[in-house]
Structure 1
Amino acid sequence: MVLIVQKYGGSSVHSIERIRRVAERVVATHREGHDVVVVLSAMGDTTDELLDLARQITPLPHPRERDMLLTVGERISNALAAMAIRALGERACSLTGPQAGVFTTSEYGNARIVEVAPQRIRRELDRGAIVLVAGFQGLSRDTDDITTLGRGGSDTTAIALAAALKADICEIHTDVDGVYSADPRIVPRAALLHHIGYEAMQEMAAAGSKVLALRSVEYARRCGVPIHVRSAYGDRPGTTVSGAPDDADAGRSTITGVAHDTSGAKVTVTGVPNDPAAVGRLVRTVADAGGEIDMLVHNAAPPKGGRTDITFVLAGDGALAALAALRGRAAEIGFEEVSHDEDVGKISLIGSGMRTCPGVTATFCETLAAAGVNIEIISTSEIRISVLCRTARVADAVRALHTAFRLDTDDSEGEAPVHAGTGR
């Protein structure tokens, strides 16, 4: 008997009819003789609607009460799916995150899972039930409060449960067929990757690929949980993410794929004292405000003191709060001015083959130059090259790089699937 953890995103349970379809897929898996644990996101736009209700009360909802409110969405979808499974003649039991033994840190809105105690799930499985667990939530033992896990929280819940239960596989059912070498809405000839390693998948997620959340991939890598990304609407083979080397599908080239992200903002802080303490206070201010710094460039300052400029990219979710915090501490830190530019996009080339293949950076820059794309910031790692450019040029840059590094495919798996959203 195989133990399978399945996760379905918000678009997969957007309506009662879709919930019934998910229930049918789950029951079919169970009737093949497998134990099944299911994690469901909230239905469609439920989370946004709940946030809107909170903001009608106050522009800045209290974080504790906001988390208490937002966990309702996942409880609704999981309870409805359990009812649908029971209507099909199978036993089912829906659980909240805390009932399932998911324990977290105490940060409201962005907690991390620290432990999963799955005894309740085990008991229900032993009774022959299909167990449904509300994703995106847990319980802080420090405060005894409900917490939410932030972006990709349901993916992370599913992978954490798979690790704790020693499941044979964790299936992430989403609205695309798997992980592609680029966004197929921009690159119609993008290739469906049958396998990708944890390291490359982490870089893809960090660079803007929306198929899997970065934190969920980090958790899977740490615990050695194999992930199978599949469509929630069909039976195509999908993509396996594991610790094995990338397969021949990605091996046509030294490159796995091209990712992009247009949600960030470029922030420039001018007139920063040429003092390590000042730079440290600046970065700490951003971090304490919940900002995630990427692609930081520290311009060289004149010798014997003087001032310098610092430019970095902030993720879209935390940009406004971080900017307000910086402006509030301008006098204390000692810089002159802070400005931000939202008309930017990040393009990243990812591939473990970069380590042993010289000339990748040169080809990357030459390709963008030929496409007329101006590079504003560039950063590199062993398996990634990222640049910042104008938003209007992102699609051109992605297509040019995808072709230059021979990632285009002529087979049918390169056809663009329907995207209905990413769930949670």
Structure 2
Amino acid sequence: MVRITVQKYGGSSLCDATSVCRAADEAVSAHRAGRRVVVVVSAMGQTTDRLLSLARLAGPDPDAQELDVLLGTGERASAALMALAIRARGVPARSFSGPTAGVVTSGSHGRARIVDVDTQPIRADLSAGQLVVVAGFQGADQATGCVTTIGRGGSDATATALAAALQAHVCEIRTDVDGVHTADPQHVPQSGRLARLSYDEVYELARAGARILMPQCVRYAQIAGIPLHVRTATGASQGTWVDGDIHRHSEAGERRPQVIGLAHLNDQAQYVITGLPDQPEARAALLTALEEATVSPAMISWNSATRAGRVNLSFVAAQEDRPATAAVLEALGPAGEHDDIQYTAPLGRLTAVGTSLRSCPSLLPGLMKKLYEHGIEARRWEVRDNRVTVLCPPGRTVDALIVAHDALMTDHGAMALGLPDRSSEDAEADVPAVGWRDAG
């Protein structure tokens, strides 16, 4: 059986013609190694931002449908250029837009989700020996057939959805960094590359702000069991492999507490809805409505209100999601159905992702102490078995990241907080030599 490899190249890896040619060399190399190759591309460099600026110059409130048509042209241009570069290297290639590649979406413009992929057009070209290039970030709405975009990072979702539908052996996320790090290397240069992670670990890091992968794409890969390989565009690094559960046990066999990595987000907002009826189905309906509006609430909690039979519900979401969130909250009904909706912004969010974190009672107090010593106020916190999250002033989020990395991800800091030695966790020897590791 011929292996199918999906390679995704981000905008930073396609910033100019030279970068496009380097990516074409990588794709052609995989093709000549005997694999059937599908390349998914983002728009070149800052193309999407430039197109968005042009749209706003044309009118202050651009129509969402036409805006999606405009923004999708960036990826389509990248796909055509990539196909031309591949053809120049003697390999037959064809470019597809998202809709012509069979990507079907649902949801609102600019915030759509992939719901299906008709692989027949791509399979036909692969069987004919062609290298296929697909424009990421876009698809055709299942109800109207109109072009919709998937949102920031949508090319990752396109790549993993295609990999799942095609039953690819691997989906390579080619980028400008050498893998997933213990923290954003732009802010924490001493952060270390992680050799292997589970889907759940990467999903939590992505939701918490690690920009290396889109949360939606991790779930596509996990459901289909497609390994992800995050690596540089040139393939020079071993990168990070993402697949099934990673067993992080002590010699005694128990699951041991360990912080895997850190992520941060600015421009967060906290919502508190006071005096909601204490009805579990009502709370579930509200959270479902937020999810359907593609709002990803975090730090969800509720507690007793001052009135009997009422509760207060709070959550955190991105500030840019305020219009969608407001629309959902307005649907709660008249004021008699709740007392008040409080909105606090901006806030920063710092998250430590790991394993069995509840079993390390010194972790949160130790982290809070370190933040306090550096003048960083923790305004709210949450502890779960797989993550610890702290809200902080937005201007201090990166400072909090640096402090937390020193406290949790270095040997001296981790030992001070009662975490186990992590000296061998990232060794290349820990990554098993399974059959698909040679892809790309």
TM-score, normalised with respect to structure 2: 0.82
Structure 1 residue 94 displacement after superposition: 0.6
Structure 1 residue 266 displacement after superposition: 2.9
Secondary structure of the residue that 2:75 maps to in structure 1?
helix
Partner of 2:270: 266
* Partners of 2:181 and 2:193 within 8 A in 1: yes
Secondary structure of the residue that 2:299 maps to in structure 1?
strand
Partner of 2:162: 161
Structure 1 residue 367 displacement after superposition: 3.5
Distance 1:273 1:28 in 2: 59
Partner of 1:174: 175
The answer to whether structure 1 residue 189 and structure 2 residue 193 are counterparts is no
Partner of 1:295: 299
Distance 1:180 1:352 in 2: 17
Which deviates more, 276-285 or 156-165?
Answer: 276-285
Structure 1 residue 158 displacement after superposition: 0.7
Letter in 2 for 1:41: S
Distance 1:342 1:53 in 2: 29
Partner of 2:259: 255
Q: Aligned pair in 2 of structure 1 residues 328, 253: CA closer, same or farther (>3 Å)?
A: closer
The answer to whether structure 1 residue 76 and structure 2 residue 43 are counterparts is no
Q: Aligned pair in 2 of structure 1 residues 100, 257: CA closer, same or farther (>3 Å)?
A: same
Distance 2:151 2:399 in 1: 31
Structure 1 residue 309 displacement after superposition: 6.0
Letter in 2 for 1:190: S
Alignment of 1:97-116 (within 5 A): 97-116=98-117
Which whole-Å deviations, capped at 9, do the CAs of 1:105-129 have from their partners, x for residues lacking one?
2432222222222122122112221
- Aligned sequence identity (%): 40
Alignment of 1:213-362 (within 5 A): 213-233=214-234, 235-245=236-246, 254-268=258-272, 272=275, 291-298=295-302, 300-304=304-308, 311-320=314-323, 322-323=325-326, 332=335, 338=341, 340-354=343-357, 357-362=360-365
Structure 1 residue 395 displacement after superposition: 2.7
Secondary structure of the residue that 2:202 maps to in structure 1?
helix
Which whole-Å deviations, capped at 9, do the CAs of 1:383-422 have from their partners, x for residues lacking one?
01111011233233222322222446999x9xxxxxxxxx
Q: Aligned pair in 2 of structure 1 residues 330, 253: CA closer, same or farther (>3 Å)?
A: closer
Structure 1 spans left out of the alignment, 5+ residues = 414-424
Partner of 1:420: none
Return the structure number with greater relative CO, CA threshold 8 A, min gap 6: 1
Letter in 2 for 1:384: R
The answer to whether structure 1 residue 135 and structure 2 residue 166 are counterparts is no
Partner of 1:386: 389
Structure 1 residue 324 displacement after superposition: 7.5
Structure 2 residue corresponding to 1:376, chosen from 360, 376, 379: 379
Structure 1 residue 349 displacement after superposition: 0.9
Which deviates more, 91-100 or 206-215?
Answer: 91-100
TM-score, normalised with respect to structure 1: 0.85
Which whole-Å deviations, capped at 9, do the CAs of 1:128-150 have from their partners, x for residues lacking one?
21100111112233222222222
Distance 1:209 1:106 in 2: 24
Secondary structure of the residue that 1:100 maps to in structure 2?
coil
Letter in 2 for 1:9: G
* Partners of 2:6 and 2:159 within 8 A in 1: yes
Partner of 1:45: 46
Distance 1:203 1:224 in 2: 17
* Partners of 1:330 and 1:336 within 8 A in 2: no
Secondary structure of the residue that 1:133 maps to in structure 2?
strand
Q: Aligned pair in 2 of structure 1 residues 357, 284: CA closer, same or farther (>3 Å)?
A: closer
Secondary structure of the residue that 1:30 maps to in structure 2?
helix
Which deviates more, 209-218 or 105-114?
Answer: 105-114
Q: Aligned pair in 2 of structure 1 residues 268, 22: CA closer, same or farther (>3 Å)?
A: same
Distance 1:282 1:98 in 2: 32
Q: Aligned pair in 2 of structure 1 residues 120, 198: CA closer, same or farther (>3 Å)?
A: same
Q: Aligned pair in 2 of structure 1 residues 317, 119: CA closer, same or farther (>3 Å)?
A: same
Distance 2:331 2:265 in 1: 28
Partner of 1:422: none
Partner of 1:398: 401
* Partners of 1:206 and 1:214 within 8 A in 2: yes
* Partners of 1:104 and 1:114 within 8 A in 2: yes
* Partners of 1:4 and 1:170 within 8 A in 2: yes
Q: Aligned pair in 2 of structure 1 residues 322, 238: CA closer, same or farther (>3 Å)?
A: same
Distance 1:208 1:34 in 2: 34
Which whole-Å deviations, capped at 9, do the CAs of 1:212-236 have from their partners, x for residues lacking one?
0111111111111100001114501
Q: Aligned pair in 2 of structure 1 residues 343, 67: CA closer, same or farther (>3 Å)?
A: closer
Letter in 1 for 2:198: G
* Partners of 2:257 and 2:360 within 8 A in 1: no
Structure 1 residue 168 displacement after superposition: 1.1
* Partners of 1:252 and 1:406 within 8 A in 2: no
Distance 1:85 1:355 in 2: 51
Distance 2:59 2:342 in 1: 28
Distance 1:291 1:12 in 2: 29
Secondary structure of the residue that 1:264 maps to in structure 2?
strand
How many matched pairs? 409
